[in-house]
Structure 1
Amino acid sequence: MTDRFYLYGIFPAPGPQALHLEGLDKQPVHTQVIDGFTFLYSEAQQEHYLASRRNLLGHEKVLEQAMEVGYRTLLPLQFGLVIENWETVTQQLITPYNQGLEKLFTKLDGQREVGVKVFWEADRELLMLLEENQSLKEKRDSLEGRTLGMDEVVAIGQAIERALESRKQAIIQTFRDTLNALSGDRVENDTLTEAMIYNAAYLIPWQAEPDFSAYVEALDHQFDGRLKIRYNNFTAPFNFAQLDRLD
């Protein structure tokens, strides 16, 4: 069988010497130094890896464990990258993107990625909105008990929709105003469900995480249980290890 290598991420050389980690397919994780870059890899037992939950978590676990033991400046590679020889890495990654990789290492040095996802209950927010806006509530209530023309129904529906969207944007802006100033860079990603209204990653100094966490907790108290906030304080910096995001 031809040797294949599954790649997890890249450290600046010299990188770790012995990590004692277990990778995909329960294979031991090794490092390979090429032209000043240290690649984290294990021997691939498959030609292609299915993007299953188990495999994705296994990929991320290797990266996070490496960071946990002190090798924090790490460029995570996308899931499923399998190569047959190291010359491919030199030709397709290091040679064309050498300067960009060095800039990413500089950007990530001493920094960590944290993530904030915010969820709301749209029905509950609508009820609160109507209680706070009696004029809009009266218009909504007018839908009951009498026959309305289609134009009137649409107008009332649109007015409620606009007010609810404005309410959502006000919540989002509160999170931006509070957290953006604490980070050196940030990425706002697509929301993944209808209940999710905000999905952002922040790049912050390692030692600043307790302060950042305290601000997230303060936001939770500020909204008095209205929102569900998922805060991830430790993850490989996938959102910031992207060559196309360099200035």
Structure 2
Amino acid sequence: MAYGFYLYGIFPTPGPVGLALEGLDAQPVHSHAIGDFVFLYSEAQQKRYLSSRKNLLGHERVLEQAMEKGYRTLLPLQFGLVIKNWTSVEEQLIVPKGEALRQLFQRLDGRREVGIKLVWNQEAELEALMQENDLLRAERDRLEGKTLSMDEIVRIGQSIEHAMTVRKDAIIQTCRDRLNTHAVEIAENDPLPSVPGMIYNAAYLIPWDAEPAFGQQVDQLDTQFSGRLTIRYNNFTAPYNFAQLEAE
């Protein structure tokens, strides 16, 4: 029993043709055109989809496979969007937001999203700080084994925190200096709380053909900060960070 249609993304006409893709619940993926827009969808087998890892990856895989087959300009829709009929889509999205959608397609045409996440080992970085900062190391050694007052603990903690922040900001700025000039737009997001040690999380909108040069800069950063950072680079993803309608 189908509960309606599960939507994955929107493409400009003529949109994807003849794709043999499998969507959520192993359902075949189809396309449906409304005016200038083509929706990628499958029949929904559930009233509501839980945001499990399997479902989230399944949603993203449909869009990425469409992009791999050459349909690169798309507006990815948020996970879990189930509709009862196409009339509601036309009335609630196409009619009031049609022009904004067309402008987004123009903005994304010929461009792709890539993403960077920087993760450092705080303990190793703190030890490196102590080795490189003579004043902090001397202060630590001088007080080692002593009973410290609360004021002393706070003062030392603040000094270390400030020094660590300076190190972190220097790494982030180096990343910006290397990568930002290659991007048309940049979206800096909050670090993910679920990833300990993440200090930077950014997405870049770049021309499709510019990815090799961008990836080379990432490799150079990886070499420069070897042993200090883990760099997570996603060079192929739907443009979630740059396909958002502005709230009215």
TM-score scaled by length of structure 2: 0.96
1:23 corresponds to which letter in structure 2?
Answer: G
Q: Provide the aligned length of Structure 1 versus Structure 2.
A: 246
The secondary structure found in structure 2 opposite 1:117 is strand
Q: Give the 3 Å change call, closer, same or farther, for CA 3–120 of structure 1 in structure 2.
A: closer
Contact between 2:27 and 2:42, CA under 8 Å: does it hold in 1? yes
The secondary structure found in structure 2 opposite 1:33 is strand
Map 1:94-105 → 2, pairs under 5 A: 94-105=94-105
Task: Please state how far the C-alpha of 1:141 moved relative to its aligned partner.
Answer: 1.9
- Partners in 2 of 1:225 and 1:3 — Cα distance? 51
- Partners in 2 of 1:176 and 1:245 — Cα distance? 28
What per-residue deviation string (whole Å, max 9, x for no partner) do you get for residues 71-115 of structure 1?
000110000000010011011111111111011100110001111
Contact between 1:23 and 1:42, CA under 8 Å: does it hold in 2? yes
Map 1:82-101 → 2, pairs under 5 A: 82-101=82-101
**Which residue of 1 is the match for residue 157 of structure 2?**
157
The secondary structure found in structure 2 opposite 1:244 is coil
Residue 203 of structure 2 corresponds to residue 229 of structure 1:
no
Q: Give the 3 Å change call, closer, same or farther, for CA 101–204 of structure 1 in structure 2.
A: same
The secondary structure found in structure 1 opposite 2:92 is helix
Q: Give the 3 Å change call, closer, same or farther, for CA 245–195 of structure 1 in structure 2.
A: farther
- Partners in 2 of 1:149 and 1:82 — Cα distance? 60
Q: Give the 3 Å change call, closer, same or farther, for CA 170–61 of structure 1 in structure 2.
A: same
The secondary structure found in structure 1 opposite 2:78 is coil
**Which residue of 2 is the match for residue 110 of structure 1?**
110
- Partners in 1 of 2:234 and 2:148 — Cα distance? 48
Task: Please state how far the C-alpha of 1:245 moved relative to its aligned partner.
Answer: 8.6
The secondary structure found in structure 2 opposite 1:124 is helix
Contact between 2:2 and 2:45, CA under 8 Å: does it hold in 1? no
1:217 corresponds to which letter in structure 2?
Answer: D
**Which residue of 1 is the match for residue 183 of structure 2?**
183
Residue 210 of structure 2 corresponds to residue 208 of structure 1:
yes
Q: Give the 3 Å change call, closer, same or farther, for CA 2–144 of structure 1 in structure 2.
A: closer
The secondary structure found in structure 2 opposite 1:186 is strand
- Partners in 2 of 1:153 and 1:143 — Cα distance? 10
2:13 corresponds to which letter in structure 1?
Answer: A
2:162 corresponds to which letter in structure 1?
Answer: R
TM-score scaled by length of structure 1: 0.96
Residue 53 of structure 2 corresponds to residue 16 of structure 1:
no
- Partners in 2 of 1:245 and 1:223 — Cα distance? 39
- Partners in 1 of 2:2 and 2:27 — Cα distance? 16
What per-residue deviation string (whole Å, max 9, x for no partner) do you get for residues 103-152 of structure 1?
11001100011111111011111111111111111112223122332212
Map 1:46-61 → 2, pairs under 5 A: 46-61=46-61
Counting aligned pairs with the same residue, the percent is 64
**Which residue of 1 is the match for residue 146 of structure 2?**
146
Task: Please state how far the C-alpha of 1:155 moved relative to its aligned partner.
Answer: 0.5
- Partners in 1 of 2:190 and 2:124 — Cα distance? 23
Q: Give the 3 Å change call, closer, same or farther, for CA 2–30 of structure 1 in structure 2.
A: closer
Residue 117 of structure 2 corresponds to residue 129 of structure 1:
no
